[in-house]
Copies of this chain bind each other. A is one copy, B any other.
Amino acid sequence: MDMFRKRCKQLGLACTHQRLIIYRALASSASHPTPEAIYDQVRHEIPSISLATVYKNIKTFTEAGLLREVSVLHDSLRLDANLGNHHHLVCTRCKAVIDIPEEKLDPIRLRGKLPDGFVADRFLVEILGLCAACAKGRTN
């Protein structure tokens, strides 16, 4: 956890008490928590912390590469009337979603058994990257 201090220095971020606790809460969790869940966790140690601080630091950490968002498209509901099996290209910058046929990938196959009693229904594959427009220039 002293490694966190170093990373902050590298990144030019102040290593505040709040940041340390927030990061520790995240790093010690296996549940992929929401901002609210982190807030609830952190309040055990810093009862006076503001939810806005949690949000701000989540963003800061994510931009710094200390954290990842589990889903790129969580900001707004996106719908698909194409019920056939296919995958998606997702532009991480403009959030464009482009169909690609499933034959464009080697088949997705499990090796061995899943943990717990998890019952799998289907595989969802997103190829993250930049769409043509975003890959080129600034303006999209």
Contact = CB atoms under 8 A, between A and B. Distances in A.
Interface of A: 23, 26-27, 29-36, 38, 58, 62, 65-81, 83, 88-92, 96-100, 103-112, 114-132, 135-136
Contacts of A115: 89, 98, 100
A61 B48 CA distance: 44
A131 B109 CA distance: 19
B71 A78 contact: yes
A128 B135 contact: no
Contacts of A106: 106-109, 111
A124 B125 contact: yes
A108 B106 CA distance: 6
